[in-house]
Structure 1
Amino acid sequence: MDETERPLRVPPQMSLYLDKHNIFQLLQSLLSSLVIDQPDDPINYLIQLLQRSNLNIPRVMLLGPPSVGKHTVAKSLSADLRAVHINLDSLLQDQVISRAVEIPAELLVNLIQQRLGDADCSERGWVLEGIPQTRLQALSLQQAGVIPHHVVVLDAPNEVLLERDRGKMVDLETGDVYHRIFMWPKDETIAKRLKRDPKSSEARRLSELHRFRREVTGLSSAYEHVLKVIDSDKPYPDIYLQALAFVRTRRYHRTPRVLLLGPPGSGKSHQAALLSQKYKMVDVGCGELLRSVAAEGTVQGIEVQSYLDDDRPVPDSLVLQVLEERLSRLDCSCRGWILHGFPRDLQQATCLQESQYQPNRVFFLEVTDDVCLERVTLRATDPVTGERYHAVTRPAPSAEVQERLWTRPEDSRETVTLKLSRYQENVEALQSMFSGAVYVNADQDPYSVFETVESRLTAD
């Protein structure tokens, strides 16, 4: 292998130190501030920034279609968080440009950088209302170092939004928004001066709504790691409490090192794939990793292959060598990882805990033996397409496909029963080793399991 092709690795001691002391998050915050403020004396600027200890100030983006309640929620969040409320109207008040025209990404970035560089934003934090509006603007802001800690997307069905728009009223003195049905001011003085928004029209609202629908997928993907979508077809107090609770949670700054444990058929591989897809962590399945190393033909791979050929268990020491080599690579060190398929017993768990790659989140996926047997023994693979089917949950689409399905030897009832028995023999020891683990009911649909895992993954 050419030296330029070798995967970069972070020494395990350094990776552990960086993770323990949140150095990655600290560097990201400092770099973001440097890019936004662009100080003449960067060294003194960084020293002052660290002395102010303001790296955890609110940085919130509140997005959503017209009439969903962004302005009201943003104003309330700013008050409760003591942060600066910023929207397009405040950014454009000194600019000769109409809000009806889509603002070029470069101009928007310059305006936001200038505003966020002001002392009040640096010291108190900020809530950006309705910014960015497009994925291009989001990417431009990210490249400029404008990186939020939380992104809230309010959404509701089109018919609900259009009905709200028809009842929307504005206090022209303060800019506050009210509604005839569900959000009317108690103060009669305010109520008497409410008017329909003179800048609003149904054609403009429809145009803004269609633009949001076009852009919402791209916006969500740009901020998927810090995103919460809130159903806004509910009473306002419920919507606001959800938003406030979310922005008051700290982001999960530690590099995630997730261990999934559970019997065969509990869904470990599926949950690892879902976590990897959403959070970009590296999916490290021990069995697949060993087969991959064996296929490389290296000295280590040849040794692993000799055990696989004879259907013998690969020795723990060799498995750990393979795992440590993979977990030391830069992608695992920076993005984090999800390990499954190892450890299977107390000795392996002890070796993992004594290594430099201890997990910081451990999940036991719990499900009965009967359910595991049904999940595993009724699944089969189409050798032509590679698609996997299940006799109950995902049957073959035709009789022709059904006839050619192939069941792997490791999915036979006898083999699965033996694996379940071994798991039950070792599970108490594994539970004692990982005393802080989270137990998840895996006898439900995969996305309900994922929501449970995800909620505990991002908790403090």
Structure 2
Amino acid sequence: MKPEPSVFIIGPPCSGKYLLGEYVSRRLNCIHISINVLREIIDNNEDANNIEKAQIYANFLKTRLSEYDCEKNGYVLTGYPTTLAEGKALQRSGIFPERIHKIPSSDSEDRISGEKSENPNNIDSQIADYRRHFIDLSRIYKNKITHIPADRSLSEVFQRVMCYLSRPLQNPAMWIPRIVLLGFSGSGRKTVAEKLTKKYNLVTLHCGTLIRREIARETKLGMDMKPYVDSHCAVPDEMVIDLLKKCLSEAACAIKGWILVGYPRTKLQAQALDISSLSPNRVIFLDINRAEAKERLKSREFSEPREVHYNAPLSSLVRRQPNKEVNRVNFKLNRFAAHRIELDEYYGQRILFVEANKDEETVFENVEYLIVNEPPRHIFPV
């Protein structure tokens, strides 16, 4: 799960940072806190020096950011910090933003020159102070600051900022893939899983194979599942989850990562995975229409014989998978279609779609891209 947004927007007077903060907070559905809110708490501490004021601000923000709305939705802080002392006070209080957007001072100067100001000398002094303090402030935030060119239309500035915010943060920590591949039978799930396993040395798991292996080993769980398999009935979800917990907790899966093919099939199974601490960090749906999936499955019923002849007659073809009868094919397609909508609704923004009606290599490359690159943050409409 990605962390909630924590964004600082800083800039000189009249640079438009408050307007930008309001826009960003609406798009990210998070809380907007401006420096004006902080100034109100200093009214009763006018005698405090700059260092004391910085700590008062930091203490207030630490309390405010720990409240439920900020914890749940994240926050955007505009116009603060402005000095090195304020930045260090925030760090001592454990407040570290994931991103800082800085608006250049030259843009604010152009805006001020076109406006009537009662005290232009005072504004010029504030801009000079901002520039001087920003040199020190940038030393502790140098790897997080993004410069926003504000000499453009509002829509262009907003679009540029949201483009930056939607990009995933670089994470040096080791990432262990936990992938669920969903889609109709015939969508290419096993083919994609085999390619990923070969290239990235992941562990591929298929529930049907795991169940048959457990029965062959004659374990207690396998013997409990055997009557259901012999009678061609679905194995209860509780047993399947117990089997998955056992397999996914093995060292190979924990170290290398895993791919779960064709499971979960229902919302209840997906919930059981999450409750059992087996939540995937990638849910990829190989999207293909039912008619094409059916044609692919039918074509698998036949294959050429071992001794290949040029332009061999159709009668020379032999059945390769007799279990792929028409009724069996329809059963598999109907089983997935019956629960597709509820799976889409349950996984919501976690699910990633790949068009599977393309050639094998293109589908694999698209899936690989979604695994290697973290999905962008969800942006709310204005």
TM-score between the two structures when normalised by the length of structure 2: 0.49
Return the index of the structure with the highest Cα Rg: 2
The TM-score, its normalising length taken from structure 1, stands at 0.41
Structure with larger RCO (C-alpha < 8 A, sep 6+): 2
